[in-house]
Amino acid sequence: MASSATSKNMADCIIIGAGLSGLTTAYYTGQKTGVQPLILEARNETGGRIKTSDAIDLGATWLGEQHQNLLHLLDELNLEIFPQYQKGKSMFVQSTSTPPHYFYTQENENPTFRISGGSSHLIKRLKTEINAEIKLGIRVDEIRDKQSHLEVISKNNIFKAKKVIITLPPQLAAETIQFSPALPDALLATMELTHTWMSNAIKVGLTYKTPFWRKNDLSGTLIAPNGPVMELYDHSHPQEHCYGLMGFANEALRGHPADKREGIIVAFLADYFGPEARQYLAYKEKDWLLDDCTATERSKSIYMHPAYGNEAWEKPYMVGKLLFSGSETSDDFGGYMEGAVASGIKAAAFCGTG
């Protein structure tokens, strides 16, 4: 049973989720309106699907020149970006029984970039800049409309706010939060059918003392649709003298124990990059399907980027007090970091209104 609300549990605006979208909402809310929102996060850390471990980005990683909202935010926060390393030969492996096909990527054609020091640097900078309280380990179970305000209920607390913004993936919100009164059936159907980007991904990364592949004129890019690692890229941070390879493991490896999965991946890399691939300093992986703050039983494998954005996200609910936000709700680069930032900018305007 949730305890009674106290004055500390009251806010003008509550943001559910301390990922990029939630923190961006708080950042721009503070800048434009001075409102101090309260952020509730189920995890014991901020960042959502942005996670950097030992300089390996195990979540959101890349951005492009077209991601103008994100680029503007990075500029405001004095965070630098650098181009994804693509020099040299890349490999396409159709089958382990045939030699790889080598190809070159045009570096100036649709360039991609990474955040210096890792994507988590963006989360850390936002946390230092926002005028908001963040409560970790708070899993929201129910939202009730009390006419003058909304009650946000967790296991041990009741929070109250005039406005609530949900930045969770819509599918996760539909599966884990009860709404009273119930949301419209059409909205719930849209929530349940909105794919959570990266919810099935297994990201893996290895760090090395040197970028040994470069001396052999290899870019670090390896595409192997049927291999243990389906995509792999150079994941070095030259400014920090940290070198690595990072990519996406085949979901077929999910059935193996972690240590065996690691061995299979390392052996595969050694076959194509040489024995130095075995001399790694650290091996990291993140299976997002096992993250119950991301994936649900409805999560399905999908390898083409779905179309995000829906008119259902354009209006508030519960008599104008509840708004759905987050990357999957954005029709501007939904699923990407850019989509999270774009949705945060829109949500900030909602949070700051009377």
Residue 239 has a pLDDT of 78
Same domain, 205 and 279: yes
The fraction of the chain above a pLDDT of 70, given in percent, is 96
Q: Same structural domain for residues 191 and 236?
A: no
> In this structure, are 175 and 206 located in the same domain?
no
pLDDT number for residue 76: 96
Domain boundary, last residue among 290, 324, 342:
290
Mean pLDDT of the chain: 93
pLDDT attached to residue 106 = 76
Alpha helices in the chain (DSSP H): 20-33, 68-76, 120-129, 170-176, 185-193, 258-273, 337-351
Query: Does the pTM of the predicted model rise above 0.85?
Result: yes
Exposed e or buried b for every residue in 188-221, given b needs 16+ CB within 10 A? bebbeebbbbbbbbbbbbbbbeebbbbeeebbbb
Range of lowest pLDDT (3-17, 19-33, 191-205, 286-300)? 3-17
- Could you read off the pLDDT of 57-73 as tens digits, one per residue? 999 999 999 999 999 99
Residues 207 and 273 in one domain: yes
Average pLDDT over residues 341-352: 93
Work out the average pLDDT over 204-223.
97
Q: Which of 265, 290, 315 is the last residue of a domain?
A: 290
Q: Residues 205, 270: one domain?
A: yes
Domain assignment present for residue 296? The answer is no
128 assigned to some structural domain: yes
pLDDT digits (tens, 9 = 90+) for 102-150: 999 876 677 899 999 999 999 999 999 998 999 999 999 999 999 999 9
Average pLDDT of span 20-34: 92
- pLDDT recorded at residue 303: 67
Pick from 290, 313, 338: which residue ends a domain? 290
Quote the domain boundaries for residue 151: 7-51+122-197+304-351
Q: What is the pLDDT of residues 273-314, one digit of tens each?
A: 999 999 999 999 999 999 999 999 888 777 667 889 899 999
Whether residue 250 is found in the same domain as residue 175: no
Number of domains in the chain: 2
Residues 325 and 341 in one domain: yes
Both 111 and 127 in one domain: the answer is no
Are residues 211 and 332 located together in one domain of the fold? no
Residue 223 resides in a domain: yes
Specify the CATH number for the domain of residue 108: 3.90.660.10
For the residues 226-242, what does the mean pLDDT come to?
92
Residues 151 and 111 in one domain: no
Which candidate, 175, 203, 178, 171, places its Cα nearest to that of 49? 203
Residues 131 and 224 in one domain: no
Is pLDDT larger for residue 148 or for residue 3?
Answer: 148
- CATH number assigned to the domain comprising residue 146: 3.50.50.60
Q: What are all long-range contacts of 28-35, with beta carbons under 8 Å and residues at least 24 apart?
A: 28/344, 28/345, 28/348, 29/132, 29/348, 29/351, 29/352, 30/130, 30/131, 30/132, 31/348, 32/348, 32/349, 32/352, 33/348, 33/351, 33/352, 34/131, 35/351, 35/352
Mean pLDDT, residues 315-332 taken together: 96
pLDDT above 70 for 354: no
Is the residue at 61 inside a domain? no
User: Within this chain, do residues 207 and 324 fall inside the same structural domain, yes or no?
Assistant: no
